[in-house]
């Protein structure tokens, strides 16, 4: 799985910040939360044939 880019993390952090009501002084918290979410996201799940 590819690591999220800085831009992807910043965009997700901004979304989280907006959803939280745009609180001041929590930029690092939202950045780390976004980074963790994106790293845990499984973009290419392993699949098995349906007939197994």
Q: Which residues of 34-44 are buried (b: 16+ CB within 10 A; e: fewer)?
A: bbeebeeeeee
Residue 49 is predicted with a pLDDT of: 65
Residue 23, token pair as written in the block: 């609180």
Residue 9 is predicted with a pLDDT of: 97
Phi, then psi, of 43 in degrees rounded to 5: -85, -20
Question: Do residues 9 and 38 touch, judged by C-beta distance below 8 A?
Answer: yes
Domain boundaries of the chain, sorted by first residue: 1-20+28-35
Q: 1-52, pLDDT tens digit by residue? A: 578 999 999 999 999 999 999 999 999 999 999 999 999 986 555 656 666 5
């Amino acid at each position: 799985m590819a690591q999220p880019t800085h831009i992807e993390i910043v965009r997700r952090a901004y979304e989280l910040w907006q959803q939280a009501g745009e609180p001041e002084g929590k930029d690092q918290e939202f950045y780390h939360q976004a980074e963790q979410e994106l790293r845990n996201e499984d973009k290419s799940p392993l699949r098995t044939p349906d007939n197994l």
